[in-house]
Structure 1
């Protein structure tokens, strides 16, 4: 067998075809920086809706999971189930040398590509309707978006500023939702966006209920044994501006530090006494289309994964301070439920846990409707029009950057 290296997109396409050929559940993938690897790919996993409070029950195998933001508002129901979970018998990890390692009952990547890749399709002259020689910037693989409701978001920011002045909250995250249609299948959309906007915590999940195309830059919880960390992002600047401006912004610094305190409080509910520490404060890091301020809080805990998530969910960076009051107000200000936006996705292996905050995440229904939640943190120094511009900057990765397509 050839020693040619198999790329992640090539493997994912072949695994997707393998699932169709053999009537298996589709693959799942985590690209960027997961478990010390460039990619974690699950060849097949049956992801089924579950109760939210059962999503993080521990198992000896690899558990792939997502859980939506728990608060809902009146109006249309979120597009996807509140939580899904699936256990996988094997998985593959991609090393820095470009080679795959097999874990559990995982197939050989080269064999999969040989049996189910594009070469097989040409040899058998089947009716595969996917062009496997895609250009990473091919706009036909990007969603077609409708204009979001700028007026509603501006009104929510104005109401939030009034609540801050009244002392009800100090900081609150507000979101808006963009609706659209896919132009191709979910996997090709995922690979198209990943090609021009790679993110540290990208993920692809699929089931009969639809698909999740995640491009989050933000860690929610990363746990190894009894050590856990959370790295909230607060503070955003467009990528074409000088990132040093983030550290000159009183608004962004205040926003970040308030959320760091909230993360410390959340982890402290289940952490060993005295173990909660801030290991990194106000680091400037790049992400697709933007620069961010990122801090890291670490702790030690013997709590179960389920207890850890319950103590800290939803993630601090997407709620506000005080957390309980911020969540109550958000439900009254935002016109649509967040769905998976501001929830979490990832996987667990025993007590080890790798979860991202579900931002920059596309929620796709089985008929090709797609929704994207985008938002930002509001403080006393926020300006409604600037907050809207931040939402647009954060969504731009889905249309290849540049001006909004509406």
Structure 2
């Protein structure tokens, strides 16, 4: 294992752009990245990641060749790991059910603004990689997405069907979703760099392969595991950012929505946790996210080391905050109420490191790009007996606004040729 201090460099977005350009010039797969608050750091970027399709159960697993080091150098936080996604499971979406890949080294931006090169192997940082981090000269490049708004009438029918089911006692709450569709030009790496630069989401993640790309601008933590401690921070309750956040804490509907989901997270974690170890460590905290305020709670549990990542996901996936109570019934009904499959939306994107542990987001505010240039963006909200269909529709628009109104940053020439319309970099095909 190895760690090198690279020092001051560009922002996370600038370095991501520079590494994407470096990958294109070397005919390598594009970078994968996590920005915001991941592993107690500001950004983790794999300079090049061959993100291939995999079975959902294999997502976030380790290859057999993972180094079995007994000592970790002082200061090494991550080193490398598996980066990818697992889609929402109940219907097939526009992208495959799971994809990702292994990286044996990353560059990391700490909270003080210092960049580090970290490797699970004993290999030095390549000179051109260090140069890209310290002096990123690849500026923004043009991209465009033409969005089509979801069918409002179909969403209203779904909300009304959900309200009828709540009245019958079939469910207590469910998250009814809709979907923006669109077409794109330019590269997903450029969209992601501009999006994180402008919106600064706390759980942003990007992964790309020959199958397409996922640019997740999520504010929500699904699971974080450090040793035997697992935490989850479900979001339920939303208010536009220009309104008084105190109104969110006073909302009977939003508070009830959050508390019910907290109980569902407690139940999910309780399936694999040490008896009596599941606890709520933070309840109903109001936090800002791009364009909105959210109510956020945190649940923690002690999970034995004998429970691996697959077993933890079996107990908790898909995330509680995007399903409903009871979870199984809500999932069955949602598949009938929603006209479009969710795809990666409401699944999870993240990283599993043999050094740092597991961190996964809830794949909300997530843009999916397929290999033909089509894009999708899911939006939704929790429905309770107090929900108003018109207000629920407005909440969907509020959540999407920070993404669908994005425009490219001011661009300057980049000598590396770009694809005009293919979202997947040609170099993303594994070689």
Q: TM-score, normalised by structure 1?
A: 0.89
Aligned mates of 1:375, 1:30 — CA distance in 2: 24
Q: Give the superposed CA RMSD.
A: 2.3
1:11–1:113 contact (8 Å) kept in structure 2: no
Deviation, structure 1 residue 11: 1.9
Partner of 2:171: 169
Deviation, structure 1 residue 204: 1.3
Q: Say which of 88, 106, 120 aligns to 1:91.
A: 106
Deviation, structure 1 residue 10: 2.5
Deviations 1:324-368 (A, max 9, x none): 100010011111110001000100013810000000000001222
2:8–2:114 contact (8 Å) kept in structure 1: no
In the superposition, relative to structure 1, how do residues 113 and 17 fare at CA in structure 2: closer, same or farther (>3 Å)? Answer: farther
In the superposition, relative to structure 1, how do residues 107 and 100 fare at CA in structure 2: closer, same or farther (>3 Å)? Answer: farther
Deviating more after overlay: 229-238 vs 343-352: 343-352
Deviating more after overlay: 176-185 vs 276-285: 176-185
In the superposition, relative to structure 1, how do residues 3 and 176 fare at CA in structure 2: closer, same or farther (>3 Å)? Answer: closer
Partner of 1:129: none
Partner of 1:125: none
- The reply on whether 1:154 has 2:156 as its aligned counterpart is yes
Matches within 5 A, 1:290-309: 290-302=292-304, 303-309=307-313
Aligned mates of 1:14, 1:234 — CA distance in 2: 36
Aligned mates of 1:334, 1:107 — CA distance in 2: 50
2:107–2:115 contact (8 Å) kept in structure 1: yes
- The reply on whether 1:57 has 2:61 as its aligned counterpart is yes
Aligned mates of 1:376, 1:288 — CA distance in 2: 16
In the superposition, relative to structure 1, how do residues 117 and 178 fare at CA in structure 2: closer, same or farther (>3 Å)? Answer: farther
1:143–1:398 contact (8 Å) kept in structure 2: no
Aligned mates of 1:288, 1:209 — CA distance in 2: 28
Deviations 1:240-275 (A, max 9, x none): 110100111000000000000000000000000110
Q: How many residues align?
A: 383
Q: Say which of 88, 97, 111 aligns to 1:82.
A: 97
Q: Please give the secondary structure, in 1, of the residue aligned with 2:286.
A: strand
Aligned mates of 1:184, 1:71 — CA distance in 2: 31
In the superposition, relative to structure 1, how do residues 107 and 24 fare at CA in structure 2: closer, same or farther (>3 Å)? Answer: farther
Deviations 1:192-224 (A, max 9, x none): 222221100011111111111110000000000
Q: Say which of 368, 372, 375 aligns to 1:370.
A: 375
Deviation, structure 1 residue 93: 1.0
Deviation, structure 1 residue 307: 0.4
Q: Say which of 342, 348, 354 aligns to 2:359.
A: 354
- The reply on whether 1:312 has 2:327 as its aligned counterpart is no
1:17–1:116 contact (8 Å) kept in structure 2: no
- The reply on whether 1:389 has 2:394 as its aligned counterpart is yes
Matches within 5 A, 1:238-277: 238-277=240-279
Aligned mates of 1:233, 1:257 — CA distance in 2: 10
Aligned mates of 1:90, 1:3 — CA distance in 2: 17
2:61–2:82 contact (8 Å) kept in structure 1: no
Deviations 1:28-48 (A, max 9, x none): 010000001100001111111
1:222–1:354 contact (8 Å) kept in structure 2: yes
Q: TM-score, normalised by structure 2?
A: 0.84
Structure 2: gaps spanning 5 or more residues = 1-5, 67-79, 408-431
Matches within 5 A, 1:1-400: 5-59=9-63, 60=66, 62-72=81-91, 77-104=92-119, 108=125, 111-112=128-129, 114=131, 132-134=138-140, 141=143, 143-302=145-304, 303-350=307-354, 352-400=357-405
Deviations 1:115-174 (A, max 9, x none): 799998xxxxxxxxxxx4449xxxx64522012211100000000000000110000001
Aligned mates of 1:261, 1:35 — CA distance in 2: 26
1:33–1:201 contact (8 Å) kept in structure 2: yes
Structure 1: gaps spanning 5 or more residues = 121-131
Aligned mates of 1:343, 1:275 — CA distance in 2: 26
In the superposition, relative to structure 1, how do residues 21 and 134 fare at CA in structure 2: closer, same or farther (>3 Å)? Answer: closer
Aligned mates of 1:180, 1:12 — CA distance in 2: 24
Q: Please give the secondary structure, in 2, of the residue aligned with 1:187.
A: helix
In the superposition, relative to structure 1, how do residues 107 and 179 fare at CA in structure 2: closer, same or farther (>3 Å)? Answer: farther
Deviating more after overlay: 376-385 vs 57-66: 57-66
1:226–1:300 contact (8 Å) kept in structure 2: yes
